[in-house]
Chains A and B, each alone.
Chain A
């Protein structure tokens, strides 16, 4: 007991001297995980070098640095925030750097099996959206499917409910209501990436619902999720003038996904399939002329093995992996859309990652992108000096990543 008081006294002193925060490690070591009040900082980041062997050009980038700041107000209420800087710097001269909040939500623990989140959060869609830390995947970049088709990290403002079924260990249900998308931001070849609001002045007269069922069974993890939401948050008068359906679920987008993972210390396997449906794409095209497709779909499979499993270096990891991805960002197009086979893509990625300690990953991979032909009808003003379009490109990528 005496020791506990000394630890608490020292911790309190340190707390007051060091910026009013304690690290996760301190809080754990002092046995304060059950305390009702604490502040936690953590973070992650990644940098990459990508060499295009066909165009013989390379790009080095500090892709992101993210700082997590959390605070527990009580055993029932906690705050979670993630602030991200993408591409190293943000200037006002047109650089593509970005400072954004990736998450900022309050979590209310109703009981040990049910909690509610409110604010800016990541709906349970796909594998990467909730679990996007760069130390959790072996490739230098996230999967292309969960970047271009499922736009991870996909966060919106809303309220979500998460429930773990106590009678069935491993079974988890979740549902949320969030703001909808913006039809004007859609477009050929870019899916719904630019239709997201990501917490900034989102239209909330159009809404979206997301629900997921997640089940852990031994070393398996299964998930199915669906998203359905409106894309027109205009006033009825403005929507009518564009001949678009507004309202909560007007001019909808549906996104449906299933995935499975098998995870052990040695071998892992993961697979994901996704379908995106935009039944009113023709009306979006009529209003905005942005070549929105009627549907998109795709899948990927990935497997890997830790070469250091069951060796004396078991605390480290040396993973080899391979992945195949296929997706079509214009699987079907409406009559007023223009198909482009270049948006039908496959990626084959193979590589290696080394984890010297928990939280650090050094990565190298080779990625081959294959597409259909580019539809020349989509090039309005051809650039005579433009490099020819290549149906196949090969990239050599190196990366480092950390999380703590």
Chain B
């Protein structure tokens, strides 16, 4: 609905909003500095997921590798403590323009350091993201 409205306003071409609603945002809880998420919540056809957690100031991006393993990174710009956003090409900071690839490496400054990465372990039913 919102996508269509913006398209109608002519602010952005409708075709460029085709990605609307395609980045899943999953609400999570944490325990003992771990975020545990059931695999059933992870749509098979999606490559990246935004995990929202009330204990963390910023979201966590969960990325699925080609071999179906996962890694995660903290969505905080390493430049000046602002949130970063993600799409299927990378992450970007709206405050000062830094961009990062999906591995968290800086592709354009002013940030100079990669995004903080978290280890992800896996069992049959769930993923555990180790925040510390």
Contacts and interface: CB of A to CB of B under 8 A. Distances in A.
- What secondary structure prevails in chain B residues at the interface with A? loop
Interface of A: 4, 24-25, 28, 31, 33-34, 40, 42, 44, 68, 70, 72, 75, 78, 80, 109, 112, 127, 130-131, 133, 135-136, 162, 164-172, 213-222, 224, 263-265, 268, 358-359, 403-404
A329 B6 CA distance: 33
B11 A224 contact: yes
A40 B86 CA distance: 25
A399 to B, nearest CB: 16
A169 B87 contact: yes
Interface of B: 2-3, 6, 11-12, 16-17, 19-23, 25, 50, 52, 55-59, 74, 76, 78-81, 83, 85-90, 92, 94-97, 99, 101, 106-110, 112-113, 116, 131-132
Contacts of B97: 127, 130-131, 136, 221
Given A109-B57, A169-B87, A171-B6, A358 B76 contact: no
Contact of A133 (B21, B107, B109): B109
A263 B106 CA distance: 12
A221 B81 contact: no
Contact of B87 (A165, A170, A213): A170
Given A167-B2, A172-B94, A131 B110 contact: yes
A4 B56 CA distance: 18
A314 to B, nearest CB: 10
Given A75-B57, A109-B57, A264-B107, A403 B112 contact: yes
Given A70-B81, A130-B96, A168-B21, A403 B109 contact: yes
Contacts of A130: 95-97
Contacts of B20: 167-168
B9 to A, nearest CB: 10
Contacts of A265: 101, 107
B17 A263 contact: no
Contacts of A127: 97
> What 7 pairs across the A-B complex have the smallest Cβ distances?
A131-B97, A358-B112, A133-B110, A169-B23, A359-B112, A218-B89, A217-B16
Nearest to B111: A358
Contact of B12 (A68, A169, A215): A215
Given A170-B92, A172-B94, A358-B106, 9 more contacts: A168-B3, A168-B20, A169-B19, A172-B85, A214-B94, A218-B89, A219-B90, A221-B97, A268-B108
A134 to B, nearest CB: 9
A135 B110 contact: yes
Contacts of A224: 11
Nearest to B99: A263
A33 B55 CA distance: 12
